[in-house]
Structure 1
Amino acid sequence: MATANIYGLIFACTCGLILGVGLCANILVFSLFAKHNSLRKNRLDILLLSMTLADFLTLLLIPFTLHSAVSQSWPLGNVFCKVYQFLLAFSLAASTYSLCAVSMTRAMIITNPYRPPDMDLVVLMFVLVWALSFFVSLPLRMFATRDSVGPSAANFTYCLPTIHQHHYQVVLSQFVLFYLVPMLVIAFNYVRLALFLHRSPVMSQASARNSRRASIMVFLAAGSFSVCWLPSYVLELCVYLGLYRQDSAWEVFYFVCTVLQYLHPCVNPVLYVLLSKRYRHRRAEWLFGCTAAAAARNRVHPEVVSVATESL
């Protein structure tokens, strides 16, 4: 019991740190979109906003996970367990499919710069991402339930994504729909970009540099997505094959897999917006604008006070 409590506290502290960093990064992205009207009219930025919304929803669900990790119990009833598991799958699907839409849009813009996708197509992609995420996630979480795990003397009540009989069907479906298919889409667009850049005629240095930077961003997005989610599916496969054992090495692997899952919503805003050259001047304007506003509120003006005093 003491080991479980220590593990829960370490897990809660780690996820709490991820939650704080992720919320700050995503809120900064929201503030940039709210302040700059040009971002809301850009084709690619609309899909980036879709991914940010999905990641923000995932981060809002972390406190429920933290409570369960520390107290070894699900704080709400069975109905809210189903809602929680559905929202978790829904936000993951929306983030993943938004990532696919971003890679497709970037590929279309770079390979055909004179005829980029129009705004109607991008809005349609935005709607399809969220509609598809809803209809895919709903059946996967239909059987989510509270269940007790452990010996009868010390049962731990968790909110599980499905009942035991359907566990691996759900895991396999989620692997195909949330990981394998999106990775194939992203890989297809990356290969398409690589072939285009290899076969394209000589471009200006600025155009070539921008195209390479966009290709690298697609590659980094696919790499971060794979690193954050592939270990979890490997762990599920090991459990299915009976390789999982209750020892310290497997517990550490389980801990790393879970932390990586929650780290992905923090990686996306940093990778796409906060480190992107396209947003550099807007970030600086936002940061220096906030600093200037704070300084103006705290600044003391002796001359103004003196004039006011003399007039009195």
Structure 2
Amino acid sequence: MLSKVMLGVILSLLILLTVGGNVLVCLAVCASRRLRCLTNCFIVSLAVTDLLLGLLVLPFSALLQLSDEWPLGPVFCNFYISMDVMLCTASILTLLAISVDRYMAVTMPLRYTSLVLPWRVAVALVSVWTVSVAVSFLPIQMGWNTVNGTVQNHGPWASERRCRFELNRPYVLTDSLLTFYLPLLAMCWTYLQILRIARAQAKRIISTRDHKATLTLAAVIGAFVVCWLPYFILFTVLGLKEHPDPGIVPEFPIVLWLGYANSALNPVIYGALNRDFRSAYAHLLRCRLHAQSGWRNKVQRNVCHKPHRRQSKHVKAGAQVR
């Protein structure tokens, strides 16, 4: 019982950090002029992805983890699993777009502003979300991920109190290759090229803001790989075995929540490595504290002064009677 309580506290803190941190990222980009650039459109997209994960997926994952059963029915179970897959896919594809953006900024600095235009960034983001929806909702709602080809969690053999993510070999190989392993290889290649160019032209690169942005986003991708690679390795192994319910494998919740923790790490990485984000965070938090202190002072003034006003009116009334 105590272990369940402790686990509940830890998961709740992780959810709060995920939601609060990514709201702070979005507000920082909106509030700071120095952060309003095309590259940070991808950062905001990534923050929105992590925010949606914290609001629409993590609470239900925590419920499933703590209660060991699913009380919300099969339809919502499949929606929840589809959202989970969609948001994870959106994260990795957004990181791929970020790596391509940084590659172009470093390798083609003179042509970068003419190549990376607002409409092209918009097309890239729409493409990321379109692909993410297509590889998540479509296969799961059509039953393409199951061994027998039927929609998971439906049918006479399905339990109303279970929420299973069924896997078959074609689905796992297609999904993991297209949405994790191949984008990961592409990102590694782009950052190796960036590193090679940065070493060859160190003086020119280090003096620009592009180097700082590249360093920050490389750290974000590194954290993503560390957090999600164990999950995708286990996901691939279980899928090749066509495991009927990966959730009952003891290691599965551990690697899954390690992946979820990545959504809380990104705002910390931005603040630790990027001075503009750090300044924007500090400004927003100072404004918040100032607003709270102003509200408290107003309440205290109202509480302190109102009785005196009533007393003065009473004295004046008494004087008139006399």
Q: TM-score scaled by structure 1? A: 0.78
Match in the other structure for 2:12: 16
Match in the other structure for 2:146: none
Match in the other structure for 1:121: 120
Q: CA deviation digits over 1:100-120, x for unaligned, max 9?
A: 111211222233333321222
Tell me: CA distance 1:104–1:286, structure 2 relative to 1, closer, same or farther (3 Å): same
Instruction: Please list every run of at least 4 consecutive aligned residues from structure 1 whose deviation after the TM superposition is greater than 6 angstroms.
Output: 308-312
Match in the other structure for 1:287: 285
Question: Contact 2:172–2:236 (CA<8 Å) still a contact in 1?
Answer: no
Question: Contact 1:67–1:75 (CA<8 Å) still a contact in 2?
Answer: no
Question: Contact 1:98–1:129 (CA<8 Å) still a contact in 2?
Answer: yes
Match in the other structure for 1:247: none
RMSD: 3.3
The whole-number CA distance in structure 2 between the counterparts of 1:11 and 1:172 is 33
The whole-number CA distance in structure 1 between the counterparts of 2:139 and 2:196 is 37
Amino acid at match of 1:145: Q
The whole-number CA distance in structure 1 between the counterparts of 2:220 and 2:280 is 22
Question: Contact 1:32–1:282 (CA<8 Å) still a contact in 2?
Answer: yes
1:106 aligns with 2:116: no
Q: CA deviation digits over 1:159-214, x for unaligned, max 9?
A: 2223xxx434333223212210221121122012112212327428633xx45433
Match in the other structure for 1:182: 183
Aligned pairs for 1:53-64 (under 5 A) are: 53-60=48-55, 61-64=57-60
Amino acid at match of 1:266: A
Q: CA deviation digits over 1:196-237, x for unaligned, max 9?
A: 212327428633xx4543343233223211111111233245
Tell me: CA distance 1:33–1:167, structure 2 relative to 1, closer, same or farther (3 Å): same
Unaligned runs of 5+ in 2: 144-150, 244-248, 317-322
1:257 equivalent among 255, 258, 281: 255
Aligned pairs for 1:43-122 (under 5 A) are: 43-60=38-55, 61-116=57-112, 117-122=116-121
Tell me: CA distance 1:70–1:97, structure 2 relative to 1, closer, same or farther (3 Å): same
Tell me: CA distance 1:228–1:156, structure 2 relative to 1, closer, same or farther (3 Å): farther
Q: TM-score scaled by structure 2? A: 0.76
Question: Contact 1:183–1:222 (CA<8 Å) still a contact in 2?
Answer: no
Residue 145 of structure 1 deviates from its aligned partner by 2.6
Question: Contact 1:73–1:156 (CA<8 Å) still a contact in 2?
Answer: no
Match in the other structure for 2:153: 146
Residue 26 of structure 1 deviates from its aligned partner by 1.1
Match in the other structure for 2:246: none
Question: Contact 2:34–2:276 (CA<8 Å) still a contact in 1?
Answer: no
* 3-state SS in 2 of match to 1:63: helix
Q: CA deviation digits over 1:60-107, x for unaligned, max 9?
A: 211112222222221222221221111111111111111111121122
Question: Contact 1:72–1:156 (CA<8 Å) still a contact in 2?
Answer: no
Match in the other structure for 1:220: 219
The whole-number CA distance in structure 2 between the counterparts of 1:168 and 1:89 is 17
The whole-number CA distance in structure 2 between the counterparts of 1:258 and 1:289 is 36
User: Percent identity over the alignment?
Assistant: 23
The whole-number CA distance in structure 1 between the counterparts of 2:92 and 2:191 is 16
The whole-number CA distance in structure 1 between the counterparts of 2:30 and 2:6 is 36
Unaligned runs of 5+ in 1: 149-154, 245-249
Farther-moved stretch of structure 1 (166-175 vs 12-21): 166-175
Amino acid at match of 1:50: S
Match in the other structure for 1:229: 228
